[in-house]
Amino acid sequence: MSIQQFIRDHRLDAMRIAGQPVAASGQVIAVHNPYTGELLGSVPRATVAQVRQAFATAQACQLTLTRYERGAILNRAADSVLQRRSEIANLITAESGLCLKDSLYETGRVADVLRFGAQEALRDDGQMFSADTTPAGKKRRVFTQRAPLLGVISAITPFNHPMNQVAHKVVPAVATNNRVVLKPSEKVPFSAILFADILYAAGLPHKALSIVTGDPREIGLELLTNAQTDLVTFTGGVAIGKHIAATAGYRRLVLELGGNDPIIVMDDADIDEAATLAVQGSYKNSGQRCTAVKRLLVHEAVAARFTEAVVERTRAWTYGDPMDASHDMGTVIDETAAQLFEQRVSEAVAQGARLLVGNQRRGALYAPTVLDRVRPEMTLVCEETFGPVSPIISFANIDEAIALANGTAYGLSSAVCTNRLDDITRLVNELHMGSVNVREVPGWRLELTPFGGIKDSGLGYKEGVQEAMKSFTNLKTWSVPWG
Ligand code: NAD
pLDDT at 460: 78
Ligand 1 pocket test: which of 15, 156, 234, 445 has the largest number of ligand atoms within 8 Å of its C-beta?
Answer: 156
Query: What was the pLDDT predicted at 171?
Result: 98
Please indicate, yes or no, whether residues 282 and 398 belong to a single structural domain of this protein: yes
Q: State the chain's mean pLDDT as an integer.
A: 98
Whether residue 306 is found in the same domain as residue 252: no
User: Domain for residue 45, yes or no?
Assistant: yes
CB 138 within 8 A of CB 132: yes
Label residue 20 by pLDDT band (50, 70, 90): very high
In a domain, 451, yes or no: no
- Does 413 score more than 90 pLDDT? yes
Q: Are residues 292 and 245 in the same domain?
A: no
* CB-defined site of ligand 1, < 6 Å: 156-160, 183, 185-186, 216, 220, 223, 235-237, 240, 243, 256-259, 290, 384, 386, 412, 453, 457-458
Distance of CA 452 from the midpoint of ligand 1 (Å): 15
Same domain for 248 and 360?
no
How does pLDDT run across 209-242, given as a tens digit for each residue? 999 999 999 999 999 999 999 999 999 999 999 9
CA pseudo-torsion sign 330, 334, 337, 338: positive
* Distance of CA 290 from the midpoint of ligand 1 (Å): 10
In a shared domain, residues 226 and 338: no
The residue to mutate among 15, 113, 154, 160, having the most atoms of ligand 1 within 8 angstroms of its beta carbon, is: 160
395 and 410 co-located in one domain: yes
251: CA distance to ligand 1 center in Å?
19
Distance CA 25, CA 276 (A): 50
| CA dihedral of residues 114, 58, 469, 251 (deg, nearest 10) | 140
**Residue nearest to ligand 1 atom 10, measured at CA:** 185
Q: Which of 157, 222, 229, 240 to mutate to test the pocket of ligand 1 (most atoms within 8 A of CB)?
A: 240
Going from the Cα of 450 to the center of ligand 1, the distance in angstroms, rounded, reads: 20
pLDDT at 257: 98
**pTM of the entire predicted model:** 0.98
Q: Residue 348: which CATH number?
A: 3.40.309.10
Q: 176 and 285 in one domain?
A: no
| 390 assigned to some structural domain | yes
Looking at the predicted structure, is the pLDDT value of residue 321 above 90?
Answer: yes
Q: Is residue 483 assigned to a domain?
A: no
Instruction: Tell me the C-alpha distance between 306 and 236, whole Å.
Output: 32
For residue 232, is it within any domain?
Answer: yes
pLDDT of residue 1: 83
Share of the chain above pLDDT 90, in %: 99
Terminal alpha carbon distance of the chain: 66
Q: Got the DSSP string for 35-100?
A: TT--EEEEEE---HHHHHHHHHHHHH------HHHHHHHHHHHHHHHHHTHHHHHHHHHHHH---H
Is 450 within a domain?
Answer: no
The count of structural domains within the chain is: 2
pLDDT tens-place string over residues 57-100? 999 999 999 999 999 999 999 999 999 999 999 999 999 999 99
pLDDT tens, 292-302?
A: 999 999 999 99
Closest ligand 1 atom, residue 185 Cα: 9
Pair (296, 414) in one structural domain? yes
- Average pLDDT of the segment spanning 350-371: 98
Instruction: Give yes or no: residues 173 and 267 share one domain.
Output: no
Q: Is residue 311 part of a domain?
A: yes
CATH number at 129 reads: 3.40.605.10
Gap between the Cα atoms of 415 and 137, Å rounded = 47
Name which residue sits closest to atom 17 of ligand 1, judged by CA: 220
**Do both 77 and 202 map to the same domain?**
yes
Residue nearest to atom 43 of ligand 1 (CA): 290
- Domain of residue 330: give its range: 261-445
Q: Do 305 and 386 belong to one domain?
A: yes
As a whole number of angstroms, the distance between CA 211 and CA 180 comes to 8
Read off the pLDDT of residues 387-399 as tens digits, 9 standing for 90 and up. 999 999 999 999 9
Confidence band for 326, pLDDT divided at 50, 70 and 90: very high
Q: Which residues are catalytic?
A: 256, 290
Residue owning the nearest CA to atom 42 of ligand 1: 290
159 and 274: one domain?
A: no
Residues 334/364, Cβ–Cβ less than 8 Å: yes
- Residue 55 CA, ligand 1 centroid: distance in Å: 21
Tell me if 279 is assigned to some domain.
yes
Compute, in angstroms, the gap from residue 217 CA to the centroid of ligand 1. Answer: 13
Amino acid identity, position 270: D
